[in-house]
Structure 1
Amino acid sequence: MTSVFFKKAAIALTFCAITLSVSAQTKSNFKSWAQTPPMGWNSWDSYGPTVTEAEVKANADYMAANLKKLGWEYIVVDIRWFVENDKAGGYNQTDPIYVMDEYGRYLPSVKKFPSSANGKGFKPLADYMHSKGLKFGIHIMRGVPVKAVNEKLPIKGANGITADKIYTTELQCKWLRDNYTVLANKPGAQEYYNSIMELYASWGVDFIKIDDLSRPYHLGEIELIRKAIDKTGRPIVLSTSPGETPIANADHVKEHANMWRMVDDVWDIWKDLPHLMNVAQGWYPYIAPGTWPDCDMIPLGRIAIRGERGKDRMTRLTKDEQYSLMSFFTILRSPLMFGGDLPSNDAFTTSLLTNTAVLKMHRESTDVKQLFMKDGLLAVTSRNSKTGERYIALFNIGDKDTRDISVNLKDLGVTGKVKVKDLWSGATNTQTDAVLSRSIAPHASVLVSVGK
């Protein structure tokens, strides 16, 4: 009897040790899930809260056929996939019909996502993505559903604790009131986040964007989320949203998230890009494998089909402005989440997503630095540790005059005769002059590589 007892105890201790080891390993490895900046498509800019399964699949089909080979791989279903009756152009906040299970966990609307019927959730859609070699992501709001609180629904795994025991109305999201704040120190709070991440992992989710998390910065809930993802044992990329993420929390966010928004939504309005460039000045030191300051979605191509701002349109940015946006996003090594409807792409939009030289810079560069930002001019540089190339992006963010902008190559460790390649056009020339100088029109830019 004693022998049997000790044998069972030894087995139990061994199991606990293995569990703790796996959990610790998962925690230490979460940065390895995004060694290069994630690249994909997000439904928000085109479809707001109303995207359907057919539309998601159409974008996935396009990505698999045309972009996957270049590194584009995530398909992300954005906000309110669990609401039956949202309308184009905004949220139904008067009488939303929520879909959730007995534990207060949101489930996909069968009306929008027919394959989720009979309790299957997003697993069939995730399986579809995986069958094409893609990865699947979803968006959620921070917190616990108001409906779960009001109905005192039990939290799975919390030994009878109900949703009304872990919430506060303080700091409730001001622009969407589906959820309440979770009090991180309450019994059941960790179990609540554990339960939803367990559900998402069972569906096969590879990416999760969590909104209303970074401004103001919800440190307690972010830590609950990180622990919950780690507990699943599944490599789920964590994206916090929206900005501006406080620079004071930079060290914390890089230890808990794979990517975080630097600013609020970036739309097809020129003023959004100079604002982003200005805010980004504080984030250059935090660009690193596994942890990426995030510029937001790419509002190019056909957007606002049923989106939040404006009518169905091709982006309002000029071609020069589109080059500037893509040059900044890529040299900064921001995650790239395209917001336009992929099947509607024209040739120019496609060229912005498929330029192999630009994507190589985005994937392989390191040591990203701002050289200067003054008087409406911006210069950013990085280098390719494999080839020795130095990348340089020059921007005229002023509104009126064509301007000359110059960079001393000697300051970057580049001397002698060099080859200068325009990454967008592919045009090359050689020069021995130590100064790289270009004349740039308002809102335009130049992106080059410099090497022997």
Structure 2
Amino acid sequence: MRLLPILAAATCLAGTAFAATLAPTPPMGWNSWDAYGLTITEAQFRENVAELVKLKPYGWTYAVIDEGWYMENPFGKGLAERKYKLDGNGLLLPALSRFPSAEKADGLKPLGDYVHAQGLKFGVHVIRGIPKDAVTANLPIAGTTFKAADAADTTDLCPWDDGNFGIKDNAAGQAYYDTMVKKYADWGVDFIKVDCIADHPYKPKEIRQIAKAIKNSGREIVLSLSPGPTNISHAAEVGELAQMWRIADDSWDSWSFKPANWPNGLETGFEKLAEWSQYAKPGNWPDADMLPFGSLTPNPGWGEARQSRLTPEETKSWFTLWAIARSPLILGANLTKLDEPLKALLTNKELIAVNQTAWESHAVNYKSGDTLVVWEAKTGPREKPVVYRAYFNLAKTDVDLSISLTEPKKYISLFDGKDYAVAAPDGKKRLQAKLSPHASAIFRVE
């Protein structure tokens, strides 16, 4: 019975004081990268949007086309082979071979209109900067006397993407970003993921330029900064300029990738989310990266096409941690291939409500190297909050939870609805549960 007011709170946030805040709750949605990499087509995107609509009642809202929508040949090995499509002002356009509706329309606007018609929000990914081809041709910047060479910093290259030069911190640079974001606003874009900007390297001047361009566009657009790990010393600055910023490097489907430094697995999330939890608030969401669940096919952004290598328990632990820690929930699966267990996880209303309505969450006495990690979150009225506690087994062996309770509380599982607070021989209650390796449990305490 306690669930209903919590869910009601999640649906009425837009009518509260949060209404003036862009991204008042952690953004939830789907991104094409984990399943399609650079290669998604308009038809594939529409198929996934049709599936996302089925998840919309549970809060899944954003449909985001990740990198490569402007590449005629996304399988090419470099810039020359990939062939970026540009307009006469050096702005990216969708590749017509993959997005045919753009031929007789303004770029991705038909897709934006389609997404909005489904009651969803539309997003795109870009690499920071200005395309090299625009600079080579020295194309004009629309509505100004500037040209691409005036805006480009040809000494500034993204270390892992050869398509763009950086943008100068000058009037021409601001003008270019203004025209870029205005075009996306005209397409109906609600979410822009900007890459190679939050780390590898950190580019605060370009972040500020893009944030200003969004403001100048006149459209409310969530700004997501990638990749990570953003240094925590930049917390105030990124919180001022963006709604999401990556706190970890790319995360893929494994518990851990150690001793390699890249990519990250689930294990990295415990430390990063604990470190950043104090900065999560309406309009500011430290982002631990996407959820690499389910079918990562046909062309994932990293590795071979596959079913996620996470075990069922690891998948549940990943989702539970992201939810209670108030990370954005951005699903990477091919939505046309969701199986029933994954659907059940992604539609757990109360767990999602914790993510969307908690006003405080933190790791309890977390230390690096802990094998049992506890998180606590609070939702509902502050004078009488609803408390949630999650327990995570980071060990490779089973853990028996047997915790003496100072008060005769119930510990109701969000997964099976059972009370795990049992009477002990001394008459007191104990939280009693068994966690297999990398498993988790989350309870509503009442």
The question of a shared fold, defined as TM-score above 0.5 by the shorter chain, is answered with: yes
Q: Distance in 1 between matches of 2:208 and 2:20?
A: 15
- For the 8 Å contact 1:37–1:292, the answer to whether it is kept is yes
Deviation at 1:59, TM superposition (A): 0.8
Q: Tell me how far 1:172 sits from its aligned partner.
A: 1.1
Alignment of 1:360-399 (within 5 A): 360-374=353-367, 375-386=370-381, 388-399=385-396
- Verify the 8 A CA contact 2:420 2:432 in the aligned structure 1: no
1:143 partnered with 2:134: no
Q: Using the TM superposition, give the Cα deviation of residue 427 of structure 1 relative to its aligned residue in structure 2, in angstroms.
A: 2.0
Q: 1:171 to 1:407 in 2, by over 3 A?
A: farther
Question: What does the per-residue CA deviation read over 1:216-242, in whole Å, with 9 as the maximum and x for residues that have no partner?
Answer: 211000000111001111111110001
Assess if the C-alpha contact under 8 Å between 1:396 and 1:443 holds in 2: yes
2:410 is matched with 419
1:344 aligns with 2:337: yes
2:191 is aligned with 1:200: no
For residue 212 of structure 1, the aligned residue among 187, 193, 196 is 196
- Partners of 1:279 and 1:418 lie apart in 2 by 31
The amino acid of 1:225's aligned partner reads I
Distance 1:171 1:152, change over 3 A: closer
1:7 corresponds to which residue? Answer: none
| Residue of structure 2 aligned with 1:297, choices 290, 297, 321 | 290
Do the aligned partners of 1:263 and 1:296 also contact (CA within 8 Å) in 2?
Answer: yes
In 2, the alpha carbon distance for the partners of 1:328 and 1:450 equals 17
Matches of 2:245 and 2:326 in 1, distance apart?
13
Matched, 1:40 2:63: no
Q: Does the aligned pair in 1 maintain the 2:139–2:148 contact within 8 Å?
A: yes
Number of residues of Structure 1 aligned to a counterpart in Structure 2: 413
TM-fit CA distance, 1:393: 1.1
CA deviation digits over 1:324-381, x for unaligned, max 9? 1011110011111110111100001111110111111111112111103343221111
Q: Normalized against structure 1, the TM-score is what?
A: 0.87
Match status 1:441 vs 2:436: yes
Q: In the alignment, what sits opposite 2:260? A: none
Q: What secondary structure does 1:67 align onto?
A: helix
Q: What does residue 239 of structure 2 align with?
A: 254
Cα drift, residue 408 of structure 1 = 7.2
Change (3 A) 1:409 1:305: farther
Local SS of the residue matching 2:110: helix
SS of the aligned residue for 1:104 comes to coil
- Alpha carbon RMSD of aligned pairs, Å? 2.0
Match of 1:134 in 2: 120
1:403 aligns with 2:395: no
Aligned-partner Cα distance in 2 for 1:31–1:176: 36
Q: 1:280 aligns with which of 273, 285, 299?
A: 273
- Of stretches 146-155 and 417-426 in structure 1, the one that deviates more from structure 2 is 417-426
Moved more, 212-221 or 171-180: 171-180
Q: Distance in 2 between matches of 1:206 and 1:365?
A: 24
Gaps of 5+ in 1: 1-28, 411-415
Which residue number corresponds to residue 266 of structure 1?
A: 251
Equivalent position SS for 1:54: helix
- Aligned-partner residue type, residue 392 of structure 1: R
8 Å contact 1:417–1:431 — kept in the other structure?
A: no
Distance 2:71 2:331 in 1: 24
Q: Quote the Cα distance in structure 1 between the aligned partners of 2:439 and 2:93.
A: 45
Give the unaligned 5+ runs of structure 2.
Answer: 1-17, 257-264
Helix, strand or coil: the match of 2:388?
A: strand
Q: 1:430 to 1:404 in 2, by over 3 A?
A: closer
Q: Is the 8 A contact 1:421 1:429 kept in 2?
A: yes
Determine if the alignment matches structure 1 residue 183 to structure 2 residue 171: no
CA deviation vs aligned residue, 1:113-137 (integer Å, no higher than 9, x gap): 1111135211111100111111110
Partner letter of residue 421 of structure 1?
A: I
Report the 3-state secondary structure (helix = DSSP H, G, I; strand = E; otherwise coil) of the residue aligned with 1:310. Answer: coil
**Amino acid paired to 2:437:** P
Specify the code of the residue in structure 2 equivalent to 1:190. Answer: Q
Q: Distance in 1 between matches of 2:154 and 2:59?
A: 42
2:387 partner amino acid:
R
Cα pair 1:141 1:210 within 8 Å, conserved = yes
Residue 162 (structure 1) shift: 1.0
Distance change (3 Å), C-alpha of 1:132 and 1:292: same
Q: Secondary structure in 2 aligned to 1:169?
A: strand
1:153-185 Cα shifts (integer Å, max 9, x gaps):
111233x2111122223441111111111111x
